[in-house]
Amino acid sequence: MLIGSNSKYLLKKTQAKARMFEYDVPLEEHIVVEEEAIKLLLIAIGSLNEVSSVVIKSDEVDQVRIDQKLVSDLHFSATFFDSLITSTIDPSEDYNYYYLLGAASYYFCDYVGSSRVMLSFVDEQINVGGGGFEKGVYQILNGSYQFDEIEPLAQLFEREIGLMVKEYFDFFQTGIFPDFQRNLQIYEKVLMEGTNRESFLCGIMVALIKKKTLNSALNLLPRYSLVPSETWKSKILDNNKLA
């Protein structure tokens, strides 16, 4: 995914549109960016989808590393999602969706603080037609597991969502890693049988699970210290630290 100078120019126009709403500039004096913004939206979604796919298929076992060009593209996407909400260019879409995508984008860029800010605007009862995957992404980013909130949204993939989310949160209690290979198979199943939005959000969820567990203290501290993993595991789990 290459984000060139034209895309960056369109982003600046979208940000300018957002500022016009911020400062109560009369609507008749606003610049027109609606059609151009849709092009950027496709680029932003494509960038997030590409990074999710890279993480899912990565062979890394110590920690997930993302190419800096992809990180740069993804930061562009996160900034765009933020500006798109403020500009009210797309009033037909539930802004919870864009906040969630922005939070995920910032997290993959390692802008954890910005991710938390975006996530704070997401309704806990988020439902954007993602078959329950949107709730899974929200709970993984937020660090709060409540499957009874996912179940009503889940349709075709209720069992798979419940399994992946529970396994992720169990990791921070037991130190047992999620089954990344099985999660990949679930993702491929959703690609074949699910809607475009379900597939997109499933990819984000599977990638988040992999990045968050591989980049966790439970995984990294034993690898980069001379202290045995069992010692670290007991210390971390006793203190219930999720980082």
pTM for the structure as a whole: 0.80
* Per-residue pLDDT at 67: 83
Q: What SS3 class is residue 38?
A: helix
Extract long-range pairs of 5-13: CB within 8 Å, 24+ residues apart: 7/40, 7/43, 7/76, 8/76, 10/36, 10/37, 10/39, 10/40, 11/40, 11/76, 11/79, 11/80, 11/83
Domain boundaries, the chain: 1-120, 123-217
CB environment 104-131: b (16+ within 10 A), e (fewer): bbbbbbebeebbeebbeebeeebebebb
Given a cut of 70, the residues of the chain with pLDDT beneath it are: 1-39, 61, 83-93, 147-155, 229, 234-243
Give which of 110, 108, 85 is closest to 95, Cα–Cα: 85
Hey, how many other C-beta atoms are within 10 angstroms of the C-beta on 133? 29
> Which tens digits make up the pLDDT trace of 80-110?
777 666 655 555 557 889 899 999 999 999 9
